[in-house]
Amino acid sequence: MAKPKIAALKKGENAPRAALESPQIRVLVSALGARLCEVYLKDPEDGNETSIAVNLADDAAYLDQDSYIGAVCGRYANRIEAARFPDQNGKMVQLAANEGETHLHGGPDGFDRRVWTISDQTDRSVTFELTSPDGDQGYPGTMTAQATYSLVADDRIRLEITATCDQPCPVNMTSHAYWNLRGKFDQSAADHVLQINADQWLPVDDKLIPDGPAQNVAGTGYNFQKPAKISANLPNAKQGYDHNFCLTGARGDLRQIATLSAPDSNRSIKLFSTEAGLQFYLSQHFNEAMKTENGVSLHPSGGIALEPQTYPNSPNREDFPSPWLKPGETYRHVIEWEFS
C-alpha cells in the first residue's frame, strides 16, 4: 500500500500558496491542507484591510496544533464513533482513532496535514488536488479529491470540493475556517450575532457523538432561527457549542444556511452550502502559545467555526443523510462566503 504524503515543514517554511484578490477582498490559500489561510476585507472608504479569518504564523504552527484552522478536512469531517463503521456488506471497517477512541476529521494524518498539488491556477481561482491511497487512515479505496477556491464575485468566495473513489467509501468534506469579524483574535468572538436556517439540532454525548434523534431548537440555547448574540444564548446551551444543526432546504441545492455578523464592526458573512448539516463550534481551546502571523495570541474563544457537512457519525446511523460515495459517482460540496 502506498503511503500518503505527510507534510514535514520546518519553522518559517510554507507549502506553496496562492493569492486571490478583488476590489473588496484579498485571500491567501495554502497547499497545506488546501487551507484558507487569510481573508482580508477592504474598507471602501480608506482602503485599509482587516483580517477576519483566524490564522497562524506558518505551516509548522498549523502542524503543531490540532485545531484544523482553515483546512479542508477529509476523508470524513467531524466524528465517527469508536473509529469504525460497517461497510455496505456489513463488514466492520476500522479507522485510525485520534480523539480517544473516536475518529475525528479524517484521522491523525487527515487531509489537513497533507501537501496538496496545485493543478490549476488563474488570477481568480486555484485548484488543489490530492490522492489518498487505499487503506489511508483505514478507509477503503483510492480516492482523488479536488478543492477549488474562486472569486465568483468581488465580495464572494466559492470553495468547490469534489472527489471520486474506486471502492464504496463514506465521504464528508468541509472547510474548517474560523472567523472573527473584528479581526481581534486576542478577544472573544462570543458576542458575534449568528443566524442558522435550521429548526433542529443534534444533542451529543460526552464524546460529542450524536446520541439520539434530532430535536427542535425552539426553547433551547440552540435556537438561532432568528439572529441571536452567541453569548446571550450560551447560558442555556448546556453542552456549549460543538453541535450539528439540521439545515432546512434540499441537500444538493446551494442555498443560504447562516449569517454571522459583528454589529459594531459593520461586517457580516452570509454562508451558503449544498450540504445537509452545519457544525457550529465556538472555539474554547485556543491559547496564548497559538499566535497569528502578526504575533497576536489567540483568545480561547477567539474564533467561530461554521462547517457545512453531512451529519456526524452518519456511517453508523441509517437515519442520517447518507455519506456513501460509490465507484462511478462524484462527491460534490459547494460552500460560498459572501462578505459585506
Could you say which of 176, 192, 243, 333 is catalytic?
176
Ramachandran angles phi, psi of 49, nearest 5°:
-110, 145
What DSSP string runs through 136-200? GGG--S-EEEEEEEEEEETTEEEEEEEEEESS-EE-B-EE--EE-TT--TTS--TTSEEEESEEE
Residue closest to 167 by CA, chosen among 325, 1, 331: 325
C-alpha distances (whole Å) from 134 to each of 75, 95, 141 are 12, 12, 4
Residue closest to 241 by CA, chosen among 208, 272, 277: 208
The Cα–Cα gap between 59 and 64 comes to 9
The Cα–Cα gap between 262 and 266 comes to 6
Could you say which of 38, 81, 160, 307 is catalytic?
307
Active site residue 176: yes
Residues labelled as active-site residues: 176, 307
